[in-house]
Each structure stands twice: as C-alpha cells, then as structure tokens.
C-alpha cells in the first residue's frame, strides 16, 4: 500500500483517485462473476413461481386443448402448436394447490429436455428476472408434500423456484396408453 504524502495535496488526490478506481473495478468484477439464475416468473393459484430459462422452449397463449380420457387429473390434455402435439400439465392439481379464481388469459410454458417435453399451465406470466444464486434459500419449512419434492429454492420475496430437471425426468409425467 502506498503511503499518502502529507505535504503534496495533488499527489495525495491522485493516489486516492487511483485507489477509488481500483476498488470500483474490483466491485464490478465481483458483481459480474456472481452466478445468477435467469428465470421466467409466473403466477399460479395466487402464488409466484419461477422456472429456469435454459429448459424453456417457449411461452404461448392457451389455445384449444383436447382432453384425453383415462389420464391423471393433472394432465389437462394436448394442444396443437403449429403442427406439433404438446401435452399440457396443470401443476396446480399436481401440487395440490387450491384455486377457484377464474383465469383470464392462461399461458402455456413449454419445458423441454433431450428426453421429454410438455407444457405447464400458468395463470399469468410476470416476466423474466435474473436472481443471484446467493439470494436463493434452499428449503422452506412451510412447503410440504409434492411441492417440496420439486423445490429448487425460494427467494426472499417468496418466489418459489421449481426444479425443472426433476419435473422433466419424473416418470409420472410419462403417460403410456
């Protein structure tokens, strides 16, 4: 560390300015290196949820959905998305969330991996956000049952981050007829 000269104000000011610039560069480098999750935030049953962007293929308004007989209740049906048939899952039913409010414009979030693809119903899309990983709490004692099994974390603001990899690899999502 350079000792500040007592007798020359110009030299002292130059040294202080250089130190300030070094500290600013270090702070900027540290903030850029912090790992973040880029997520789509959506509402479901009056609660806020998020899914990582890396496995989201698209978000589309819910069009005509065709019911399929003999499948679990959480499988709402299939939809034709530009000639591609996508099954649609209602996580409110899968997570056993109660919600009797009508949804004005439901959206379908298409999750995709190498082995699986399906849509998830969302009541409303709230946007895309970057969440620093250091600000994600890993567990929440009030979540229980199925939701806790698919929990990746929760933010201080109460946004529940769903583990999309677990959803995409869950055998319950595979329906064989």
97 and 151 belong to one structural domain:
yes
Q: Is the pLDDT of residue 143 over 80?
A: no
16 and 69 belong to one structural domain:
no
29 and 83 belong to one structural domain:
no
Q: Is the pLDDT of residue 146 over 80?
A: no
Total-model pTM:
0.75
Query: For the chain, what is the domain count?
Result: 2
Please write the tens of the pLDDT for every residue from 82-108: 889 999 999 999 888 877 777 778 999
Please write the tens of the pLDDT for every residue from 17-40: 787 777 777 666 655 567 999 999
Instruction: For residue 99, give both structure tokens.
Output: 């919600």
Q: Which residues, in sequence order, are CB contacts of 170 under 8 Å at separation 6+?
A: none
16 and 92 belong to one structural domain:
no
Domain that holds residue 114: 36-173
What is the domain-level CATH number for residue 108? 2.40.50.180
Average pLDDT over residues 118-122: 94
């Amino acid at each position: 560390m350079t000792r500040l000269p007592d007798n020359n104000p110009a030299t002292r000011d130059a040294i202080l300015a250089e130190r300030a610039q070094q500290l600013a560069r270090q702070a900027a480098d540290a903030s850029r290196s912090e790992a973040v999750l880029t997520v789509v935030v959506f509402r479901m049953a009056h609660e806020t949820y998020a899914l990582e962007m890396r496995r989201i293929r698209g978000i589309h308004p819910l069009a005509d959905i065709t019911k399929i007989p003999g499948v679990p209740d959480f499988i709402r049906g299939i939809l034709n998305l530009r000639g591609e048939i996508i099954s649609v899952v209602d996580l409110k039913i899968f997570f056993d969330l109660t919600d009797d409010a009508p949804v004005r414009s439901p959206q379908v979030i298409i999750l995709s991996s190498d082995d699986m693809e399906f849509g998830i119903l969302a009541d409303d899309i709230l946007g895309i956000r970057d969440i620093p990983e250091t600000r994600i709490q890993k567990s929440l004692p009030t979540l229980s049952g199925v939701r806790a099994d698919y929990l990746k974390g929760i933010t201080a603001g109460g946004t529940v981050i769903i583990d999309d990899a677990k959803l995409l690899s869950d055998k319950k999502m595979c329906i064989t007829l």
